[in-house]
């Protein structure tokens, strides 16, 4: 079989083999840490916390942490504080001249911004850590084992451990980017999501099996719909609009160059899954404000903590559309593309080189980004519709939403990188010649 032959070829490439093994090692460390409970916490008293994270926005937060949140693990706060800090720094790089200057300094400026992002992440964690412990104390009190929360050694030490745990997860993500398969932070989130898939699948199957009147047929229908949504998400991630480019003929000595017609592929969804991740991080802000406890907050905050409610999904969809335009503007630079075409004696037929070409590319990008962002938002809110049709909370998260889109984007990108290694060494990829996996080229990767 071709797949088995491809796996053998992967194992033959030493660099690729080492990267995959390194990634597997870091993933095992991350999964092991998700079950390391904070000192002083009785794991048997976490039933109320697990019940709290069984539904709503808390379930999604627990999914992103790979179950560490409900396990009261040292990794409980997960990677989302780092992503929240990244959002702030990205926005500052547009609005504040100091960060704009830093962004133009190349590699040194990028390193400075990364360092500031880490400092801001620590500040967010020092705020969220005590908030998490307060909620944990309330939940454990229901099991008859309340925690002594206050300015004491337990609170200080646990906050330090939670902060260090999240920073260690961030470090693991960076190591996966440098020494593994790449896109480390996104890969960490992917692992947390995949870890919940088998349990959600078994739970849904069991509940449908116990239903009278064709429960098994309904379950099979759900699987078919899930696969269709998955295929649609792949099409959205890989969809492109091609712009024809003609290269002028030029003669150097006895050789002739140019005179060929090529295409510039512009992705319908150039920002890929990053708008989803960033929008989701914004939607987690109410949890951080009210200290993970919606019961004592007002109705306004509760509305934005119900991921099946209208206002949550409406605002979530708007944020996705806005972040799609924001990231597309960062990733795609029409002026630079027009300059590169001009320097290489290329032009778009019927369009003047230079400024007119940049305006033309910008117009095309605006036209394809709007439907792409709307389709992305629709897929993101599909789990709410799945819940309306009786799909269990855990399984509904895979009917689109953040979970499915992150899975599609990161898996395709990982496969594309593996295939690139294979093609560089003249091995066949995962598909027959001419059918290549399109990754997230151009998208920001963590």
Convert the pLDDT of each residue in 1-29 to its tens digit: 666 777 777 787 888 888 889 999 999 99
Note the pLDDT of residue 168: 94
Note the pLDDT of residue 430: 58
- pLDDT tens, residue by residue, 395-422: 887 877 777 877 887 888 888 888 877 7
Q: Which long-range contacts (CB under 8 A, 24 or more apart) does 130-136 make?
A: 130/155, 130/159, 131/288, 131/291, 131/292, 132/76, 132/77, 132/162, 132/292, 133/158, 133/159, 133/162, 134/291, 134/292, 134/293, 135/52, 135/291, 135/292, 135/293, 136/41, 136/49, 136/72
CB 76 within 8 A of CB 58: no
User: Which pLDDT band, with edges at 50, 70 and 90, does 433 fall under?
Assistant: very low
Average pLDDT, the chain: 80
Note the pLDDT of residue 123: 92
Greater confidence (55 vs 336) lies with 336
Q: Which pTM value belongs to this model?
A: 0.76
Percent with pLDDT over 90 in the chain = 8
Q: Which long-range contacts (CB under 8 A, 24 or more apart) does 253-261 make?
A: 258/345
Domain boundaries defined on the chain: 2-424
Homologous superfamily assigned to 2-424: SecY subunit domain (1.10.3370.10)
**β-strands 261-267, 240-247 pairing:** antiparallel
CA dist 21 and 14 (Å) reads 10
Residue 313 sits at the vertex; the CA angle it makes with 309 and 318, to the nearest 5 degrees, is 150
3-state secondary structure of 291: coil
CA dist 329 and 94 (Å) reads 11
CA dist 180 and 339 (Å) reads 34
């Amino acid at each position: 079989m071709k797949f088995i032959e491809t796996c053998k070829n992967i194992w033959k490439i030493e660099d690729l083999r080492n990267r995959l093994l390194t990634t597997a090692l870091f993933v095992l460390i991350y999964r092991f840490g998700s079950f390391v409970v904070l000192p002083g916490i009785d794991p048997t008293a976490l039933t109320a916390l697990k019940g709290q994270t069984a539904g709503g926005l808390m379930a999604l937060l627990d999914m992103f942490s790979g179950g560490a949140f409900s396990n009261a693990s040292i990794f409980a706060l997960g990677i989302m504080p780092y992503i929240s800090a990244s959002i702030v720094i990205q926005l500052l790089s547009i609005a504040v001249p100091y960060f704009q200057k830093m962004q133009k300094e190349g590699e040194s400026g990028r390193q400075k911004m990364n360092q500031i992002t880490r400092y801001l992440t620590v500040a967010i964690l020092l705020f969220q850590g005590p908030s998490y412990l307060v909620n944990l104390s309330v939940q454990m009190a229901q099991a008859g084992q309340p925690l002594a929360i206050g300015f004491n050694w337990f609170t200080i030490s646990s906050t330090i451990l939670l902060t260090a745990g999240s920073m260690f997860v961030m470090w693991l993500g960076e190591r996966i980017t440098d020494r593994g398969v790449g896109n480390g932070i996104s890969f960490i989130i992917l692992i947390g999501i995949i870890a919940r898939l088998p349990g959600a699948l078994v739970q849904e199957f069991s509940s449908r099996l116990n239903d009278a009147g064709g429960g098994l047929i309904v379950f099979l229908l759900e699987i078919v719909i899930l696969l269709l949504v998955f295929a649609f998400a792949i099409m959205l991630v890989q969809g492109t609009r091609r712009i024809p480019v003609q290269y002028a003929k030029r003669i150097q000595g006895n050789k002739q160059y140019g005179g060929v017609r090529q295409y510039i592929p512009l992705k319908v969804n150039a920002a890929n899954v990053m708008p989803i991740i960033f929008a989701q991080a914004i939607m987690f802000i109410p949890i951080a404000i009210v200290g993970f406890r919606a019961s004592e907050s007002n109705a306004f905050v509760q509305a934005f903590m119900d991921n099946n409610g209208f206002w949550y999904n409406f605002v979530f969809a708007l944020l996705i559309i806005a972040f799609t335009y924001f990231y597309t503007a960062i990733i795609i630079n029409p002026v630079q593309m027009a300059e590169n075409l001009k320097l290489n004696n290329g032009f778009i037929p019927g369009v003047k080189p230079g400024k007119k070409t940049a305006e033309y590319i910008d117009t095309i990008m605006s036209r394809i980004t709007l439907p792409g962002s709307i389709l992305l938002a629709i897929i993101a809110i599909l789990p709410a519709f799945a819940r309306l049709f009786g799909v269990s909370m855990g399984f509904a998260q895979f009917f689109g939403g953040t979970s499915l889109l992150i899975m599609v984007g990161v898996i395709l990108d990982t496969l594309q990188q593996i295939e690139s290694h294979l093609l560089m060494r003249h091995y066949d990829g995962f598909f027959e010649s001419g059918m290549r996996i399109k990754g997230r080229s151009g998208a920001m990767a963590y």
